[in-house]
Amino acid sequence: KMVVTENSSYTEDYCDPDKRSIANAIQITFSDGSQSDWVEVHYPIGHRLRREEGIPYLLQKFKDNASTQWSEDHVQQVKSLCVNKNQLDTVSVTEWVSLMAQAAI
């Protein structure tokens, strides 16, 4: 059974253009009645206020998922382009689509 309730302060902070908080909290109650700690996050990884902190996780997620479809060399080639705006700007749309459409390993 799951119970979800709105925290009105989370909604207010989400609607505030200076904050745009994406707050959530969770506490688990087990069948024996014991409870986990209350865990609350106002700005998760990926939020604009934590963007720099989130980039390494995003790159790792890309590598983990792309590696299931492409060779390690191809993954590195795509990743290198994505992290270098100047280099990416020189790639034509046709080249980019060809790179992304390369057959899976």
Cβ within 8 Å of residue 41, ≥6 positions away: 23, 24, 25
How long is the chain?
Answer: 105
User: What is the pLDDT at residue 94?
Assistant: 95
User: Which two structure tokens, joined as six digits, stand for 28?
Assistant: 């688990």
pTM: 0.69
User: Which two structure tokens, joined as six digits, stand for 15?
Assistant: 């609607």
User: Which two structure tokens, joined as six digits, stand for 52?
Assistant: 């720099």
* pLDDT exceeds cutoff 80 at 103: no
What is the DSSP code (8-state) at residue 43? S
Q: What is the mean pLDDT of residues 2-17?
A: 95
* pLDDT exceeds cutoff 90 at 1: no
Q: What is the mean pLDDT of residues 81-104?
A: 92
Give 26-84 pLDDT, tens digit per residue: 999 999 999 999 999 999 998 999 999 999 999 999 999 999 999 999 999 999 999 99
